[in-house]
Amino acid sequence: MTNTPETTPRGTAGRGTEEVVELDTGRVRGLVFDEHRLFQGIPYAAPPVGELRWRAPQPVEPWAGVRDATEPGSPCPQLPQPFAAMASGDEDCLSLNVTAPRAGGPKPVMVWLHGGGGTNGEGAVFNPRRLVVAEDVVVVTANYRLGIFGGFGYPGLPGGAFGIADQQAVLRWVQRNIAAFGGDPDNVTLFGESYGGLSVSAHLVAPGSAGLFHRAIVQSGFPLMRAPANTFVPGSPAMPSMWLSAAELEGLAEHLVAERGWVRAGAGSAVDQLRALPVDELLTLTSVFARPAFGNDVLPESPAEALRAGRFHRVPVLVGGTRDEARLFTGMFFDGVGQPVTEERYGALLAESFGDAADEIAREYPVGAHPSPSVAWSTVLDDAAWARSVWDLGHALAAHTPTYVYEFADRDAPAVVPFPEGFPPGAHHAAELPYQFDMGAPGPLSAEQWRLAATMNRCWAAFARDGEPGGPGLVDWPRFTADDPHVQSLRPERIGRVDFAAEHRLEFWAGR
């Protein structure tokens, strides 16, 4: 095993020389290192505080003099979670970071949308230095409103997609300013993982996102997922769609606001009272409002329906996931809290989640064929929910635009969160991220894994340059088609095509 390369956590490790860049709102001072330049904490929209809470992002007030851009901005309000220890109560959080090569442009631009379940995360955690230096691209990472601040709606307050609107503001900022950092505003790739991948899918159908990006990468996004009960945590309800309608959102919000007593008769408008609530109080319900809603100006229709019907922006798309997505959730929220799936509980979970099909699924996925009942349950969810979501999205896209599909399959990848002792993480959800980014101090990668990391970044950057992840000097990567069950498998020992449909028993799941 080899140690990870030197990494840069949230701030900057050491100080480079200073550089000043002129933006449309004023000048900013960043840092220049041996091989790259770094500008952090640049505001792309006005602070969404007071009257601007739950409004579309507003323009930044221009500033005089030179603004410091050598440290990240504040994360958006969030509570700590088992998968993300960060906490923040600062609504003044709409900022972005630019990492660029030393040499001039114009260079491909890649805009990263972080994951975190829609309630957690920030852009500065993802240091793209390796990608920028090795592949000669400009990378932008950003913060956007999360949870109840990004996905709230209420009668008289059309909402549900403020976080998506923030991301559009990032893309508009890129169009206006990225040339100052050597980036090409006519060659922008939008990419994201998990909730960030779901967000990328939203931009594929959002009218206001048209023309703001030219390629898209959806990593472990789940816009077409039909999640059985217990998919993410024990007791979670079945979700036939990852998207809420405006009517559902407003009904949910009305119920919870009344339950909390947040609005009092005679104390002014309901919306004004809600805008006056302290951040800490709102955060107690933040996880309830993590799903983006449609039926508003940002997302007029369900992204799931629009994608299936082919109503999306015609840009090349790279889409994929990890081989063992569900192990992250089973490891954290079942075994990790002292509630491992027993053989008896396995049968009960199948019955709760799949009804009359439970016995047939138990025969197809017998407990004895897996290291533990928890892994058996994870495997069912890998195939029934996650893989089928990738498969359906690949087919929906490929019918209309160049589409490439992958599966990250390194089952020896270092864990991105602490797993319970004895639980095999496999190629779990988010396992590919330390291969793409420096994230503080990830687990060590072997020499073979570092080679895979370099190859993945080459493929992602190639896609950003011309819309194809393969080609001469890279790997053979054919387009995904409806009549071919193969996708690109990414493993240290081999990068090549695998029969995805057979691997995940998609024929068995068809119609269920």
- Residue 127: which residues within 8 A CB-CB, separation 6 or more? 7, 8, 9, 99, 437, 438, 439
CA–CA separation, 262 and 278 (whole Å): 11
Burial class, 299, CB count within 10 angstroms (exposed 0-12 / middle 13-18 / buried 19+): buried
Burial annotation 399-417 (CB, 10 A radius, 16+ → b, else e): eebbbbbbbbbbbbbbbbb
CA–CA separation, 506 and 488 (whole Å): 17
CA–CA separation, 141 and 99 (whole Å): 9
CA–CA separation, 413 and 416 (whole Å): 9
Question: Tokens 């970071």 belong to which residue?
Answer: 97
SS3 385: helix
Question: Tokens 């291969």 belong to which residue?
Answer: 435
CA 414, 417, 418: angle at the middle one, nearest 5? 95
492 touches 446 (CB < 8 A): yes
SS3 77: coil
Pairing of strands 317-322, 293-294: unpaired
Taking each helix axis as running N to C, give the angle between helix 162-177 and helix 195-205, from 0 to 180 degrees, rounded to the nearest 10.
70
3-state helix, strand, coil in the chain (%, to 5): 35, 20, 45
CA–CA separation, 181 and 23 (whole Å): 10
**Residues forming the active site:** 194, 325, 429
SS3 394: helix
Sign of CA dihedral 88, 144, 453, 484: positive
Residues in the chain: 512
98's enclosing H/E stretch is strand 95-101
93 touches 46 (CB < 8 A): no
348 touches 356 (CB < 8 A): no
- Residue 348: which residues within 8 A CB-CB, separation 6 or more? none
The CB-side HSE value for 383 (13 A sphere, CA atoms) comes to 20
| Single-letter amino acid code for the residue at 269 | S
Give the DSSP letter of residue 217.
E
- Residue 87: which residues within 8 A CB-CB, separation 6 or more? 78, 79, 80
